[in-house]
Amino acid sequence: MSLIAANGSVVTRKTKNFTLERAGNRDHQLIQFLEPADVRGTSLLTHQDPKGDDNQWLYLPELRRVKRISSTGKTGSFMGSEFTYEDIGGNTLEKFTYKKLADENYKGKDCYVLEKTPTYANSGYTKIKMWVSKDNNLVLRQDFFDRKNSLLKIMTFEGHQKYGNTWRSGKIAVENLQTKKKSVLDFTSRKMKTGLAADLFTERNLQRIQ
């Protein structure tokens, strides 16, 4: 994770992410910070709700306590990045209504341009405009509009690779047009079907994985 300030300075962090796919789109996700030392051990646990607010807990090692992220708090910055807790959470179809806007060519790919509107309470966005590749249905870009309906940030997805039957992007970048800051997630390696145990994704376990 690279945090790029408006003046161009960069702070780099290293994380390890775990995802447990579960029935009914109730996936669990764990993000653990490994480097640098000032954030080492900080962890975010997400239990995805396919229709409503996800359940999220943040472990802060310096305080030795687990903080639950409230529904209204999900619009806040995740660890100083331009990603919010809402962005880190689930992105299931049921959480939005959809409208097709156009057909466009985006970076040489024929795309559907869609507008999705959050149906769950306390979203930080009024709408999200997205470009979806016609040949494989991969999301290539999303434009987020804030509660004043102004364009807030642009998120792009690059370097897609196929793992079995599953596509994943190798790089996710989000640029905040209002703060001029940018955050980039670069995925250096992935392993699928590793047999993760369900008890890894519990609030109680957050303090044990350091």
Domain boundaries, the chain: 2-208
The answer to whether 185 touches 172, Cβ cutoff 8 Å, is yes
What 3-state DSSP class applies to 158? strand
CATH-assigned architecture of domain 2-208: Clam (2.50)
Contacts of 165 (CB under 8 A, 6+ apart): none
Tens digit of pLDDT at every position of the chain (210 positions): 999 999 999 999 999 999 999 999 899 999 999 999 999 999 999 999 988 889 999 999 998 899 999 999 999 999 999 999 999 987 888 999 999 999 999 999 999 999 999 998 899 999 999 999 999 999 999 999 999 999 999 999 999 999 888 899 999 999 999 999 999 999 999 998 899 999 999 998 887 755
